[in-house]
Amino acid sequence: MNNYKDRVVVVTGAGSGMGRAMVDEFTSRQAYVAVLDINLKAAEETISLLKNPELAFAYRVDVTNPESVKEAVDAVVRKWGRIDLLCNNAGILDGHATAHEVSVEEWNKVIAVNLTGPFLMARAVIPQMLEQKKGAIINTSSTSGFSAAGGGTAYTASKHGVIGLTRQLTFEYGAKGIRVNTICPGATATPMAMADPVTANSPDMLAALEKFPARRWCQPSEIAKLAAFLGGDEADFVHGSEYVMDGGWLAAARDPF
């Protein structure tokens, strides 16, 4: 099992759901973790729930804003002197709007958080990782990175884009010691999914849960364990891959929405 003692991990969207679970997983493996979220209170709450809160620090970041991103990454490097792993986890849903219904503002917002955000964060940490000659980045896409209908037009396009971003970063930086990979969760029991009327407890979702192979929601802690594998030395040969954790949803191709 990857031990993260003295490693420095940065998690975005760490005030909720999978990001919160990642902070728990990495600190339980002795990493120092920067708990970044646009909602500072939520980030602080994440830390208050930890067994070893002294390993974590909260910082407000808006991943869509280059200045905010630079400020947060600078703060991490000032505090701990390095960054070993960046988990680009922050993301938003899009209300399932179809292409002719989605407003340009909504499209831009979803692309800004889900795709430009991971790009800006990667762009800010890569110089530090190049200096270290080592580092890892995990981008969170979705089953919507492969198939339609998990969200609306903007969400699906953004999550397909995340996979392309991972592949291009791998091409550009893999030989320089930076491994980049994508996690593609399926339906996961987080506040995002549970607050969404189309996914949580809708008749379609309940019917799908009875049919697809795993027949249950994924837990955020399961995604966090996958991140802990991908970000550590046991995954040293894993570059540019998409790791799907969806209980067989894509394989069985029964997307109900």
Ligand X SMILES: NC(=O)c1ccc[n+]([C@@H]2O[C@H](COP(=O)([O-])OP(=O)(O)OC[C@H]3O[C@@H](n4cnc5c(N)ncnc54)[C@H](O)[C@@H]3O)[C@@H](O)[C@H]2O)c1
Evaluate whether 125 touches 73 at the Cβ level (below 8 Å).
yes
Rounded to whole angstroms, how far apart are CA atoms 7 and 31? 5
Shortest approach of ligand X to residue 5 CB, angstroms? 26
CA 162 to chain centre: 10
Does residue 83 belong to the site contacting ligand X (CB under 6 A)? no
Residue 43, φ and ψ in degrees, nearest 5: -65, -40
Sole binder of ligand X in the list 8, 26, 33, 37 (CB under 6 A): 37
Shortest approach of ligand X to residue 119 CB, angstroms? 13
Rounded to whole angstroms, how far apart are CA atoms 250 and 54? 40
Exposed/middle/buried for 218, CB within 10 Å: 0-12, 13-18, 19+? buried
Shortest approach of ligand X to residue 165 CB, angstroms? 13
Cβ closest to ligand X, residue 74 vs residue 233:
74
Cβ closest to ligand X, residue 170 vs residue 190:
190
Active centre residues (catalytic): 155
Residues in 188-207 at the binding interface with ligand X, rule: CB under 6 A: 188, 190-193
Cβ closest to ligand X, residue 128 vs residue 141:
141
Does residue 185 belong to the site contacting ligand X (CB under 6 A)? yes
Count of CB atoms situated within 10 Å of the CB of 1: 9
Q: Scanning the structure block, which residue is given the tokens 């019917």?
A: 207
The SS3 assignment for 74 reads helix
Residues in 115-144 at the binding interface with ligand X, rule: CB under 6 A: 140, 142
The binding site for ligand X (CB under 6 A) comprises: 12-13, 15-19, 37-39, 42, 61-64, 89-92, 113, 140, 142, 185, 187-188, 190-193
